[in-house]
Amino acid sequence: MITHKNNVKIVLIAGASASGKGHLINNICKKLDGMEKEHKPEIIQFSLDNYYYSLSSEDKKIAESGDYNFDDPQSVDLESAYKDLKALSLNQSRVYVPIYDFVTHSRKNIYTIIEPINMKEDTVRIIFVDGIFSLLSEQIRKLAFLKIYVQTDENICLGRRIERDSRERGRTYGDIINQYNRFVKPAYYDWILPSSYNADMCVPYNIENNTAIDMIIRFLW
C-alpha cells in the first residue's frame, strides 16, 4: 500500500452517472466550512471526468452522433489520474490537473494547478475524488483514506442526467436516452454497481442526508 502524508486525506466517491456524488461532496464541504474549529481543512474537488481522453476527429463525429461509449473504463485515463493523486498524497510536487470539455470532447489547453500544502502549519487537505470509476482502480483505492459509494434509484439518475446533459453539454433528449440505453445502463451493471463492494460505506441518495454527512465528517475530522 502507498503511504501518504497524514495531512492529506483522499476520499473516493463513486456511484452511477448523475447519482448525486457532487451534491454529497458539496454538502460535506458546507458542513466543514461551517465548523468552528480553528484550523479548518483545505478542500479540493478532484473530478475523474477531467481524465477522459481527448477524441480524434473521427471519434468526435461518432460522439456527436451519440455512438461513442464514454461509459467504458478504457475511455478514461485512470493511470494518469492515479499518478496525479499519488503525487498529491505524497505532497511533494505541484500537480497539473487537466480540464475536459464535454462539448468539444477534448481537454482544454489550460490546467488546474494544485500546490503542495505547508506541513509546518498543520494544514489538513481533504481531496474528494468524484467519478463513476472512482472505486474501480485498485491503485487509486490504495491511496484512499475513505471510500464511499452513493446509492441512487436508476430513475432518479436518468432524470438528473437528462437535465444535466441538456443544460451543460448541449445534448438533445433523444441523444441522451439513446446513450443511456446503449452505454450508461449496461456500464452501471458491468462496472459501477460491482465496484460498490470496494466501498467502506454506502450512502443512500437524499437531498440532505445529514446523518451520513455527520458520520463522514467525524471520520475525516
Domain residue ranges in the chain: 8-220
CA 187 – CA 154 distance, rounded (Å): 13
Taking phi over 0 as left and psi of -120 to 50 as alpha, with beta for the rest, 52 belongs to beta
pTM of the model: 0.91
Note every long-range contact of 68-72, with CB atoms under 8 Å and residues 24 or more positions apart, other chains counting.
68/105, 69/182, 69/183, 69/187, 70/179, 70/183, 71/17, 71/132, 71/183, 71/184, 71/186, 71/187, 71/188, 71/191, 72/183, 72/187
Q: What is the mean pLDDT of the chain?
A: 90
Range 71-75 average pLDDT: 96
155 pLDDT above the threshold of 80:
yes
SS3 180: helix
Homologous superfamily, domain 8-220: P-loop containing nucleotide triphosphate hydrolases (3.40.50.300)
The band of 121, judged by pLDDT with boundaries at 50, 70 and 90, is low
The band of 2, judged by pLDDT with boundaries at 50, 70 and 90, is very low
Q: What percent of the chain has pLDDT over 70?
A: 93
pLDDT at position 52: 97
Give the tens place of pLDDT for each residue, 169-185.
778 888 889 889 999 99
SS3 192: helix
120 pLDDT above the threshold of 70:
no
Q: Is the dihedral of CA 69, 75, 76, 78 positive or negative?
A: positive
Closest by alpha carbon to 45, among 137, 112, 123, 107? Answer: 112
User: All 3 cell numbers of residue 186?
Assistant: 449496461
147 pLDDT above the threshold of 90:
yes
92 pLDDT above the threshold of 60:
yes
Terminal-to-terminal C-alpha distance of the chain: 22
Range 110-134 average pLDDT: 90
CA 88 – CA 86 distance, rounded (Å): 5
On the CB side of 75, CA atoms within 13 Å amount to: 22
pLDDT at position 169: 75
84 pLDDT above the threshold of 50:
yes
117 pLDDT above the threshold of 50:
yes
pLDDT at position 3: 44
